[in-house]
Structure 1
Amino acid sequence: MVWIEGGSFLMGSEDFYPEEGPVHRVKVDGFFMDATPVTNRDFSRFVADTGYMTVAEQAPDSSLYPGANPAMLQPGSLVFRAAPKSVGEMRFWGDWWHYVAGACWYRPDGISPLTEEMMDHPVVQVCHADAEAYALWAGKVLPSEAEWEFAARGGMEGATFAWGEEFEPGGRKMANVWDGNFPMANPAGKARFGTTPAAAFPANGYGLSDMIGNVWEWTDDYWTDRHPDEVIKPCCIPINPRIATAERSYDPLQPAIRIPRKVLKGGSHLCAPNYCRRYRPAARHPEMIDSATTHVGFRCVRRLTDRPHSEPHAVESERQ
């Protein structure tokens, strides 16, 4: 884990998507954060030690999905499949996202089990409860949105990306994001997409890898459509803010939306300049807490307040 010294920063952005604003100053206390997303190797140790079964490995509760096709109510999850080859083939997201029976963390595409090569890739097909269970086992917690964004900025307050203002400075690729025009396949006919090994790209100023791209990461904050307004008085700047209550403005005509949503951060290997410019520290996205996909993972934090008998230098540098 990496120690992140606390401080204040300007959270959010006014330059891209409305849900990222308004920009407002926030303070966070210091905390430790995993240097990389939790990997398949990490998660396999957790499962071996506890016998834990992820949500994707369990049959969905039919009462939560009234009117659903019974054939869909079996263990499985969302899988990104081959993209169209031309703009004319683009219709809607359902053309490339599919619910696949049998898809889960150890078989992300629903077909092929993990190989040894994949063990150091971020774990995917984990919903919020799965991430929480791992964190509890590891003696850690999931980060708040404010902690995550503060850490992702790497000390570069106000910068568009975690490394500065240029998307690819000097032509160097800084994160695992979609290569080309999403969701089109490349000219060779095969879309190059998927996770890369943790820390395959440069770390940010705090020594954290993959804060941008590779996989979206769960936070522990419930989703809100906008950030709170900036406070007028410096004395009122929020400290360690957390959204601990889910909004209840759900559409009764869409029962699934009643399921609470939490904030994802960081973008993924499916983000592209032409489609989803959420490969930035300020970017945020709502995800239903029971959802797992091939591009969502997580990392954990440890706060000194969560371990009252520990000193900063006594915390292990390796995951437990």
Structure 2
Amino acid sequence: MTEGNFVDYVKIYVASGKGGKGSSHLHREKFIEKGGPDGGDGGRGGHVIIRGNESLWTLHHLRFQRHIKAGHGGDGGSSRSTGADGEDRYIDVPLGTVVKDKETGAFLFEITENGEEKILAKGGKGGLGNWHFRSSTNQTPRYAQPGIPGEELDIILELKVLADVGLVGFPNAGKSTLLSVLTSAKPKIGDYPFTTLKPNLGIVEYRDFKSFVIADIPGIIEGAAEGKGLGHYFLRHIERNSTLLFLIPADADDIKKEYDILLDELRRYNPEMLDKDRLIAISKCDMLDDELKAELKTQLDKDFNGLPYIFISSVAQQGLTELKDKLWQMLN
């Protein structure tokens, strides 16, 4: 999937179909001059239905479909025949898609299971034919009901990636490299900030055929919650993760300060983020000798005050098994 194909936010106008008119037909047949009313009902208008599809990972297929309309119901006919129902329109979305009302910003519902269906706009009810209005005092009613109009709605579809572990770190912290080593994902890797412009997902194979999903979120910078950099576009993808893995390089000027900035950005975006389990991975530890590592450990024990941390190196493949073990233990 190329960078441009990852679409996680679209606005769409949807309209359900209107119901068909009831018929005001009177029965006519050879030798039956004045038959009674036999007008059928109108068919219902088509619904617009959102459906979960686990084979989709992005909203790219909806990028250029800005108007989605269902079919109108058919009109009722003679001999009490009912009009055809309008054609339903299905909108397939990836799991983890949130649907909001564009006008009010109100949360409508969320799709989390494959095949899950939710009616977004209900089709209008078909009108009743004149057959329903006959009575002892009015044996030939010449009127029928019109169909009820459909519903119109402007909606926002927002995808929040479903992953167990979210990788959090500044640009250039080595998140893509770690993902490529832990999983078979092939993210774009470069030695410059903002190499990653979309969340990358990878499945970590664990022992005994177990696995979990890890998401590399594009780099957060100070002020991301206010909309600086790219972080604010992608912070919503971290909301789903049950565990957050903070990646801070060993050569950072101040590891504790970097961690505090990242944590503060998450808190400002959504305070509930701080309720998640956290693990700190000090990356690029192949640059440290034993003496420096011991010195750093003493400092980190003091700074992090019992918060779990681990030394790893993606390039030298150090500490990765311990990292998987620790993450699996936290997830379960």
Tell me, yes or no, whether TM beats 0.5. no
TM-score (normalizing by structure 1): 0.18
Structure with larger Rg: 2
Normalized per residue, the structure richer in strand is 2
TM-score (normalizing by structure 2): 0.18
State the structure with bigger RCO (CA 8 A, min sep 6), 1 or 2: 1
